[in-house]
Chain A
Amino acid sequence: MGFQVGTIKKVLIDGISYNAKADIDATKKPRKEKEGIATSGKTFQKFTAIPADLESITLTTSPQQHGRLETLHDDGNVFPMSVTLADNSVYRCVGFINVEGRSTAEGTTTLTMTAEDEWTPFYS
């Protein structure tokens, strides 16, 4: 994803942009989980497909913004989303969010962004 790393610059969810907390470490998970299954012979590789998640996204939100995100969480629709990384690369998808909660002390909403298909880079 580039050589400049660090704070996510911007998150766009359903047409609305949000600022991300500076110290978050968003984790992009691979599409397949892999584990070894021991047999009496060679070890099998077991692949399990998992969603294209971007986990641990923490956004700075007002109660109103959080309410909007909760509405998106609840309504079950998919919508366009994108993330701009520290190196200015933009990754986008159509998908949905899973809101984990809001910290009133920090004014942040933590959520997982899940692509319906795949996260793709936007090459202008």
Chain B
Amino acid sequence: MFGKKQNLKTVSAETAQKQLDDFFEYYGYDNEQGFLDAQKQDDADAFSSTFERIKRGIKMGFIDISENEDGEISVTQVTKKGSELVFPEISAKNKSEMRAVNEFTKIHQLAGSMTGVGYEGICKLKGSDLSNCESIATLFLLV
């Protein structure tokens, strides 16, 4: 009904949780809960909403967390128009692109650097595509 109709690979809530748990395991935590337990309570509450959005994105087929050919966990986002944004493992050069003062702009710069479309490319995203993208970039910053 909304956006371009496309064949998205929807998955169960369990699979979505497993993908997110695999992500945290790759970054040295037992799973999502293990990560949240390691945070202060207030922070854990704030992070939970980001993780819920990501799991919702996975369930709907807009986000996929999987191992790439180099054995690294990467996150792939599919936009409503069908474009793919691939977030590989975060690196220092990606973080060094976060030059802005505004926190949102920093996240957009980070996402632009990681996905290869640049800050200007990320600025083209709207609505839930943008929210999914911001959540994924935030996820990488947290670990």
Contact = CB atoms under 8 A, between A and B. Distances in A.
Interface of A: 9-10, 12, 14-17, 79-82, 84, 88, 90, 92, 94, 122-124
A31 to B, nearest CB: 21
Given A80-B115, A124-B83, A124-B126, A15 B120 contact: no
Nearest to B112: A12
Given A12-B113, A92-B116, A122-B83, A84 B97 contact: no
B91 A15 contact: yes
The 7 lowest CB-CB distance pairs between A and B, nearest first, are A80-B116, A124-B124, A12-B118, A84-B120, A90-B121, A15-B113, A15-B93
Nearest to B124: A124
A71 to B, nearest CB: 12
A123 B81 contact: yes
B117 A90 contact: yes
Interface string B74-95: 0000010111000000010110
Given A84-B120, A122-B117, A122-B121, 19 more contacts: A10-B120, A12-B117, A12-B118, A15-B91, A15-B114, A15-B116, A16-B96, A16-B113, A80-B116, A81-B116, A82-B121, A84-B118, A90-B117, A90-B120, A90-B121, A92-B121, A122-B124, A124-B124, A124-B129
Residue among A79, A88, A122 with most chain B CB within 10 A: A122
26 contacts: A10-B118, A10-B120, A12-B116, A12-B118, A14-B93, A15-B97, A15-B116, A16-B96, A17-B113, A17-B119, A79-B116, A80-B115, A82-B117, A90-B117, A90-B121, A90-B124, A92-B117, A92-B121, A94-B116, A122-B83, A122-B117, A123-B82, A124-B81, A124-B121, A124-B124, A124-B125
A82 B85 CA distance: 13
B92 to A, nearest CB: 10
Contacts of B112: 12, 17
B113 A123 contact: no
Contacts of B97: 15-17
Interface string B18-39: 0000000000000000000000
Interface in B23-71: none
Given A16-B93, A16-B97, A90-B121, A123 B83 contact: yes
Nearest to B85: A122
Residue among B112, B117, B119 with most chain A CB within 10 A: B117
B85 to A, nearest CB: 9
